[in-house]
Structure 1
Amino acid sequence: MTWLRALKETARSGLTIERPRLEPLVAIRGAAGLALVLGISLALFGPVVAASSAFGAYQAASATLVRSWRPRPVLALVSGASLAVSTFLGYLTGSRLSLFLALLMLWTFLAGLAWAAGRTGGIIAASNVAIMLVTVTLPTSIADSAVHAAMILFGGIVQAALIVLFPVRRWGAHRDALADALAAEADYARRLRHDPLAAFDPVPLMTARSAAALTPRQARRRPPELRGSRGVAERIRPVLASLADPAMGVPSEGPERDRVRELLAAAGSVLDSAARAIRHGGPVELAPSAVAALRTPDTDALFTGPPSRAADRLGSLLSDVIETAEGGGTKTERAEAEKAAEAIRAAEEAAPAARHRRRPSLPRLVPFILRAMRAELRPGSPILRHAIRVSAVAAVGYLIGTALPFGHGYWAPMAAVMVMRPEFSRTYGRSIARFGGTIVGVSLATAIVQVVHPGVTPSAVLAVGCALLMYLLTDTGYVVGQACVSAYVVFLLGMAGGVWSQTVSERVVLTLVGGILAMIAYAVYPAWETPRLRGRLGDWLTAAGRYAASVVDQYAEPSEGGHDEVRSALLDTREARVAWQEAVDTAQHEPVRHRGLSHAAADHTQHALAEFGRVAMLLEAHLPGAAATPVPAAARLAEALRRATEQGAKEVRERRVPNWIEVRKALAQWDAQQGVGGGETDPFVRNGAGLLLDALEAFSHGLGGKRKPSRRARHRA
C-alpha cells in the first residue's frame, strides 16, 4: 500500500461514525458524579480548584468506560489516584523546564510501556498523562497543588462510590461476553447446515474465557448462570463440526444429511435462547420446534459410529447449556460452584489448569504488570518503540508549544499523547479524527460563549452536559468523542478564568502541531507489522502442529490426564491464530511492501492452517477414553507432526517452503503396518490423519504461490 492510499484509509477509519448500543444510565451516572464533585468544589474552594476536581472526576468516569473485566470502582480509584500523584509531582517540577521535561518523558515512557499490560492500562495511562499536562498549570503553590491533588482523588472516589451505590447492569460485560460466545456457536451451527466446512472465529470464545477469570471477590459474587456455560460452549463446537463434516461424518446428501441439518438448526435455536437468557438474566425460552427436533427418536436408526456419538453428545451438551443458563448448572458445575470462592482464594499454589481462571487482585497485579513491562525492554519490541516515540514527541511538543507565542504550550503534547498508539493505522486515524473533532467542538463551544456569555455556574453546567454526551457517545467514534471533549475543556477552563479567544486559537493550532508530530514520529521511527508476518505465521504453524500432535497422541496412548495437554495446546493455537489475524489486519493498512509474503500467500496459508486446526478439532471431538484400545501407529504420526511443523515454521521464517516428508513416511508406515480398511477396525483416525497431511500440503502450495485445491473446493465439486 502506498503512503497516499494508507493516509486515505486511516483518515476514513478515523472519521467513521458507528451506531453502537448506547448505555444512557451509565452516562448519566458518570455525569452526575462529575456534577456532584464540581458543585462541592465550587462551593468550598472556587472555580480553579473545581476545574482540577472536575478533570479528576471526568477521567475516573472515562476509565470505567474502557472495556475491562475488573470491577469498575477499582478502575475509577486507580485513575483518580494516579492522576492526583501525577498532578502533584508535575507541579513540584513545573517551575524548572528541564526537571518538568524529564518527568514528562519518564511519565510518558512508562505510559507507553503500560500497553504491555493490556489495552485498558495503556489507555488509562495515556489519558492520565494528557490530563496531567493541563492540571499542573492550575495550582499556584505547593500547598495549593496538594489541595488540587486531593480534590482530583476525591473525584475518583466519588465516581467509585456511585458505581457501588447505583450499579447499572451488574455483571453486564461478563454476561455479554458469555452470551456472545453462545450466539457465535448458534450462528456456527446454522452456517454448518449449508456449508459443512464453515469457518469459526474463536475470538468470542477467547473473550468469554478472559471474562471468566475472576478475582476472589468476584468469585464470591458471580451469578450462578455465569458458571459453566462457557465450558459447555467450548465442548459443543467440535461436536457440531464433527456432526456436519462430510468426510468424517455423514454423507453430503441423503436422509442422514437431512437429519443433521435438523439437529444443527435445533442446536442453533437452543444456543440463541440460552444466550438471550444469560444476556438479560431471564429464563430460557425454547422454541417448540427445536425441542421436537432434538427429541425425534430416529437418530439411532440413521447414524452409526462417529456421527451417532456426536449426535448423542450434542443432546447432552445442549441440556447442560439450558441448565447452566437458568442458573442451576450441571451436577458437576453445581458442585464446583459451591467451592469456587474458596478454591480461588487457595489457588496460589494450584495446578496450571486452575491458575488461568484466576485473576489476581489489584495489589497482586503489580508484579505481573512490572514483569510484562520489563519483558518489552528488548530490541525490536513494538511496545518499546511506542514508548520511545511517545516520550520523545511529548517533550518536543512541549518545547514547541512553549516557544510559540500562544501560551499554554501543553496543548501540543496533550494531543500527541492522546492519539499515539502502538499501531500505525490507529495513530494516524486518531490524529486526523482529533483535529476534526477539535475544530467542531471548539467552534460550537465558542459560538455558544459568544451568544450566551455564561458565567461560572452556567459554564460548569455546559461542561457537565458535554461530558454527558461524551460518556453517551463514546463508542460511536473517536471524532465524536473528541468534539465533546474539546467543548468540555473549553467550558471548564473558561469557568476557571481562561480567555475564550486564546483557548480557541491554542486548541486548533497546537492540536494540529501535536497530531503532525505524532504522525512524523511514526514515519521516522516505525514499528511495522508487515515484516513480522512470516514470524507470526510460523508461530501459528508451530502451535497448530503441537495441538494436532497432542490430539493424535491421545489415540496412541488413551488417558484422561492427556486431555489437559490437548486443552492447553488448543488455547495456544487460538492465541497464535488471533495474533496472526491481527497482524494481517494491521499490515493491510501499512504503507509497506510485503517482504517475502504476498497477499495471496497470506490468504492461502491462512485457509490451509485453519483447515489443519479444524481437522484436529474433529479428532478431538472423539477422543478415546482411558479404556480404549491404543493405536501404536498414531504415536509415530504425532511425533512426526510435532517435529515437521517446528521445522516448517523455521523454514517459513527463513523464506523457504516447508516439505512434509516425515509426515508422509509416518502415514506410509501406518498403512504398511495396519492397512487401510484391512486391519483397521475404525478408519476414523486414519482418515483424519490423511486430512491433516492434505492441509499441510495445501499450506506449502499456498506459500509457494501454487495453491492446491482445498477440501472445500473438492467437496463442492
Structure 2
Amino acid sequence: MSWRRALKDTARSGIAVEKKRLEPLIAVRGAAGLAIVIALSLWLFGPAAAASSAFGAFQAAIATFQRSWRPRPELAIASGTSLAVSTFLGYLTISKEPLFLALLVVWTFAAGMSWAAGPTIGLIASSNVAIMLVTVTLPTSVAQAAGHAAMMIVGGLVQAALIVLFPVRRWGAHRDALADALAAEADYARRLRHDPVASFDPQPLMEARNAAAVTPRQARRRPAELHGARGIAERIRPVLASLADPAMGVPAEGHARDRVRELLASAAALLDAAAHAIRHGEPVAAPPAALATFRTPDTGSILTGAPYRAMTRLNTLLQDVVETAGGTPQQDVPSGARGTAHSAESDGQSTSGRAPTHPGARGTAHSAPTTRTRPTFLALIPKALKAMRGELHRGSPITRHATRVSAVAATGYILGTWLPLGHGYWAPLTSVMVMRPDFSQTYSRAVARLAGTVIGVAVATGVVQAATPGTLQSGTLAVASAALMYLLMRTGQFATQACIAAYVVFLLGMGGEEWTQTVPERVLLTLMGGLLAMLAYAVYPAWETPRLRTRLADWLAAQGPYVAAVFGSYADPSVRDAPDVRGALLTARTARAAWHAAVARATAEPVRHRGLSRTAADDAEDALAQLGRVAMLLEAHLPERGATPVPPAARFADALRESTHKGAKAIRERRVPTWDAVREALDAWETEDTDAVVRNTATLVLDTLTELSEALDTAVPPMTLDGTAPEKPDGPRDPKDSATR
C-alpha cells in the first residue's frame, strides 16, 4: 500500500462515526460523579482545585468504559489514584525544567511499556501522563498540589461508589460475551445447513473464555447462568461440524442430509434462545418444535455410525446448555440429557487436566469443577512488570513505541515551551494521547484529534462568547460535555475528541482562564503534537508486515501440537496421561488471533511485503484453518477409556509434532516446509487395518499441509537469456523440490 492511500484510509477511519448501542444510564452516572466532585471542590477549595479534581473524576469514568472484565470500581479507583500520584510528582519537579523533563521522559516511557500488560492498563497510563501535563500547572504550592492529588483520589472513589450504589446492567459485559458465543454457534449451525464445510471464527469463544476469568470477589457474586454454559458451548462446536461434514458419513444430498439440516436448524434455534436468555437474564423460552426435532424416533434408521453419535451428543449438549441458562426445569429434561451441565466448569476443563469433549469422555465429565481466576489489582502489578520486562528488548514493537512516545513527548514539551504561544503542554499532551504501538491507530487518532479539537473548540468558543458563563455555569457546561463524551465514546474517536476539547475549554474557563488564552494556541499546538506523532512513526516505525512470516510460523507451531494431541488420543485411550487436547487448542487459538491481528495491522501499512505476499498469506491462512477444522472433526468423537486403540495414530502424531516444529522454523527462514516424515507415517498406517475414519482424517491432514507448502512456494523462477521467465510446468510443484532450491 502506498503512503498516499495509507494516509487516506487512516484519515477516513479517524473521522468515521460508527453506529453503536448507546448506554445513556452509564453516561449519566459518570457525569453525575463528575458533577459531585466539581461541586464539592468548588465549595471546599475553589475553582482551581475543582478543575484539577474534575480531571480525576473525568479520567476515572473513562477508565470504567474500557473493554475489561475487571470490576468497574477497581478501574475507577486505580485510575484516580495513579493520576494523583503522577500529578503530585510532576508538581514537585515542574519548577525545575530539566528535572521535570527527565520525569516526563521516564514516566512516558513507562506508560508506553505498560501496553505490554494490556490495552486497558496502557490506555490508563497514557491518559495519566497526558492529563498530568495540564494538572501540574494548576496548584501554586506543595500543599495545594497534595490537596489536588487527594481530590483526584476522591474523584475516583466517588465514581466507584456510584457504580456500587447504582449498578447499570450488572454483569452486562459478561452476559454479552457468553451470549455472543452462543449466538455465533447458532449462526454457524445455520451456515452448515448450506455449506457443510463452513468456517467458524473462534473469537467469540475466546472472548467468553476471557470473561469467565473472575476475581475472588466476582466469583462470589456471579450469576448461576454464567457458570457452565460456556464449557458446554465449547463442546458443541466440533459436534456441529462433525454432524454436517460429508467426510464423516452423511452424503451431500439425500434423506440423511435433509435430516441433518433439520437438526442443525433446531440446534440454531435452541442456541439463539439460550443466548437471548443469558443476555437479558431471563428464563429460556426453548422452542417446542426445536426440542421435538431431536425426539423423532426414526432418526436411528436415517443416521448411523458417526453422524448418529454426533446427533446424540448434540442433543445432550443442547439440553444441558438450555438447563444451565435457566430455562428448562430439571424434570422436563429428557432422560439421558442430564449429567454434564453442572459438571461443566467456567473454563470447560476438569481437574484431571483433560477437557471432557463429550459426556463421559475418559471419565472426566463428573470431575470437581474449577473456576478460572483473575488476579486482584495489587496482584496484577508483578504480572504487569513481568510482561513489561519480557518486551524490553530491541526488536519489540512495545519498546519501539515507548521509545517513540517518550522522545516525542520531550520534543513537544521543549518546542511548546520555546514557542511564544503559551500553554506549551498541549503539544506533548496530544502526542501522548494519539500515539499507539501500531501505525493505523496512531495516524487515525491523530487525524481524529485534530478534527475533533477544531470542532469542539469552535463550538465551545461560540457558547462562551454568546453566553459569557460564570464559574458555576462553566462547570455545568463541562459536565454536559463530559456526559456527551461518555455517551458517544464507542462511536469513534472524532466525536470523543470533539467533546473532550469542549470539556477542557469549559473546565479551564471555570478556573478563570479566558477562551482567548487557550483556544488559538490549543489548536496550533494540537496540530504540532499530531504531526510530531505521525512523523515519529514514519522515522522510527515498528511495521508488522515484515513479521508476518514469524506470526504464520507461530500459528503452525501451535496448530501442529493440537492436531497431534487429537490423534494421540486415539492411539491408546486407556492411558491416563493423555495429551491435553484442550490446552493445545487454546494455544492454537491464541496464535491464530495473533496472526489475524497482525494481518489487520499489516494491511493498513504503507510498506511492501517482505517475503510473504498478500496472496501467499491468504492461501497459507486457508490451509492452516483447514488443518484445524480437520482436527476438530476428530475431536468431536474422542474415544472413551476402553475404546479400541489405534497404534498408528501415535506414530502419525509424533511425526506431525516434529514436522510442524521443523516447518515453523523453515517458514521463519523463508524456506518451504516439507512433510516427508508425515507422509512416511501415513504410508505405514495405510498397510494396517485400523479405524478408517481416523486414517482418512490423517490423509486430509497431509493434504492441508501440502497446500500450505504450495502457498509458500513463491520463489521467483530464473530468467532466460532473452530476459523472459521460462514456462512453468503443469500442476503444482513438489514442496520437496522447492525446498532444495
With structure 1 as the length reference, what TM-score do the two structures score? 0.94
Paired position in structure 1 for 2:704: 695
Contact 2:569 2:579 in 1 (8 A): no
Structure 1 residue 289: Cα displacement: 2.6
Structure 1 residue 629: Cα displacement: 1.3
Paired position in structure 2 for 1:170: 170
| RMSD over aligned Cα atoms | 1.9
> Paired residue for 2:692, among 683, 694, 712?
683
Paired position in structure 2 for 1:180: 180
> Paired residue for 2:569, among 527, 532, 554?
554
Distance (Å, rounded) in 1 between the aligned partners of 2:506 and 2:282: 44
Structure 1 residue 702: Cα displacement: 1.4
Distance (Å, rounded) in 2 between the aligned partners of 1:337 and 1:567: 13
Corresponding residue SS for 2:449: helix
Q: Deviations over 1:475-513 (max 9, x none)?
A: 000010000000000000011011211211121100000
Q: Deviations over 1:108-157 (max 9, x none)?
A: 11111111110110111111111111000000000111111111111111
Query: Any residues of structure 2 matched to 1:204-223 within 5 Å, and which?
Result: 204-223=204-223
Q: Which amino acid aligns with 2:252?
A: S
Corresponding residue SS for 1:160: helix
Corresponding residue SS for 2:247: coil
Paired position in structure 1 for 2:119: 119
Paired position in structure 2 for 1:197: 197
Paired position in structure 1 for 2:272: 272
Distance (Å, rounded) in 2 between the aligned partners of 1:484 and 1:61: 14
Contact 1:698 1:708 in 2 (8 A): no
Aligned residues: 692
Q: Which amino acid aligns with 1:697?
A: T
Query: Any residues of structure 2 matched to 1:276-315 within 5 Å, and which?
Result: 276-315=276-315
Distance (Å, rounded) in 1 between the aligned partners of 2:170 and 2:267: 29
Distance (Å, rounded) in 1 between the aligned partners of 2:72 and 2:321: 29
Identity of aligned residues (%): 65
Contact 1:33 1:159 in 2 (8 A): yes
The alpha-carbon distance between structure 1 residues 290 and 333, as it changes in their structure 2 partners (threshold 3 A), is closer
The alpha-carbon distance between structure 1 residues 313 and 332, as it changes in their structure 2 partners (threshold 3 A), is closer
My pick for the range that moved more, 595-604 or 320-329, is 320-329
Paired position in structure 2 for 1:46: 46
Structure 1 residue 560: Cα displacement: 7.2
Contact 2:239 2:310 in 1 (8 A): yes
> Paired residue for 2:657, among 613, 636, 642?
642
The alpha-carbon distance between structure 1 residues 335 and 207, as it changes in their structure 2 partners (threshold 3 A), is closer
Corresponding residue SS for 1:188: helix
The alpha-carbon distance between structure 1 residues 129 and 563, as it changes in their structure 2 partners (threshold 3 A), is farther
Q: Which amino acid aligns with 2:672?
A: V
> Which protein has the bigger helix share?
1
Paired position in structure 1 for 2:357: none
Corresponding residue SS for 1:247: helix
Q: Deviations over 1:625-644 (max 9, x none)?
A: 11011111111100110111
* 1:493 aligned onto 2:538: no
Q: Deviations over 1:422-469 (max 9, x none)?
A: 010000000000000000000000011111111111101100000000
* 1:603 aligned onto 2:618: yes
Paired position in structure 2 for 1:628: 643
Distance (Å, rounded) in 1 between the aligned partners of 2:223 and 2:83: 34
Q: Which amino acid aligns with 1:684?
A: V
Structure 1 residue 658: Cα displacement: 1.1
Q: Which amino acid aligns with 1:55?
A: F
Q: Which amino acid aligns with 2:210?
A: S
> Paired residue for 1:428, among 420, 443, 449?
443
Contact 1:378 1:384 in 2 (8 A): yes
Contact 1:129 1:417 in 2 (8 A): yes
Q: Which amino acid aligns with 1:112?
A: G
Q: Which amino acid aligns with 1:609?
A: L
The alpha-carbon distance between structure 1 residues 238 and 322, as it changes in their structure 2 partners (threshold 3 A), is same
Query: Any residues of structure 2 matched to 1:139-538 within 5 Å, and which?
Result: 139-326=139-326, 334=342, 357-538=372-553
Contact 2:190 2:265 in 1 (8 A): yes
Structure 1 residue 214: Cα displacement: 1.0
Paired position in structure 1 for 2:14: 14
Distance (Å, rounded) in 2 between the aligned partners of 1:632 and 1:337: 32
Distance (Å, rounded) in 1 between the aligned partners of 2:5 and 2:681: 49
Q: Deviations over 1:322-341 (max 9, x none)?
A: 01111789655546889x9x
Q: Which amino acid aligns with 2:442?
A: T
My pick for the range that moved more, 355-364 or 135-144, is 355-364
Q: Deviations over 1:34-92 (max 9, x none)?
A: 00111111111111100011111000001000010000000000000000011111000
Distance (Å, rounded) in 1 between the aligned partners of 2:375 and 2:28: 31
Dislocated runs of 4+, deviation >3 Å: 327-338, 353-356, 559-564, 705-709
Q: Which amino acid aligns with 1:545?
A: G
Contact 2:343 2:369 in 1 (8 A): no
Distance (Å, rounded) in 2 between the aligned partners of 1:362 and 1:69: 12
The alpha-carbon distance between structure 1 residues 470 and 511, as it changes in their structure 2 partners (threshold 3 A), is same
Q: Deviations over 1:284-316 (max 9, x none)?
A: 112233122222222211111111110000000
Paired position in structure 2 for 1:569: 584
Contact 2:570 2:638 in 1 (8 A): yes
Paired position in structure 1 for 2:633: 618
Contact 1:248 1:688 in 2 (8 A): no
Structure 1 residue 656: Cα displacement: 1.2
Q: Which amino acid aligns with 2:712?
A: L
Structure 1 residue 230: Cα displacement: 0.4
Distance (Å, rounded) in 2 between the aligned partners of 1:250 and 1:331: 28
Distance (Å, rounded) in 2 between the aligned partners of 1:14 and 1:559: 57
The alpha-carbon distance between structure 1 residues 561 and 388, as it changes in their structure 2 partners (threshold 3 A), is farther
Q: Deviations over 1:517-540 (max 9, x none)?
A: 000111111110001000000011
Structure 1 residue 249: Cα displacement: 3.2
Corresponding residue SS for 1:18: coil
The alpha-carbon distance between structure 1 residues 98 and 249, as it changes in their structure 2 partners (threshold 3 A), is farther
Contact 1:242 1:249 in 2 (8 A): no
Corresponding residue SS for 1:579: helix
Q: Which amino acid aligns with 1:411?
A: W
The alpha-carbon distance between structure 1 residues 84 and 560, as it changes in their structure 2 partners (threshold 3 A), is farther
Q: Deviations over 1:324-360 (max 9, x none)?
A: 111789655546889x9xx9xxxxxxxxx99982111
Q: Which amino acid aligns with 1:443?
A: A
Contact 1:76 1:156 in 2 (8 A): yes
My pick for the range that moved more, 284-293 or 577-586, is 284-293
Paired position in structure 2 for 1:85: 85
Paired position in structure 2 for 1:97: 97
Structure 1: gaps (5+ residues): 344-352, 710-717
Query: Any residues of structure 2 matched to 1:42-81 within 5 Å, and which?
Result: 42-81=42-81
Distance (Å, rounded) in 1 between the aligned partners of 2:411 and 2:264: 60
Q: Which amino acid aligns with 2:706?
A: E
Contact 1:545 1:641 in 2 (8 A): yes
Corresponding residue SS for 2:248: coil
Q: Which amino acid aligns with 2:439?
A: F
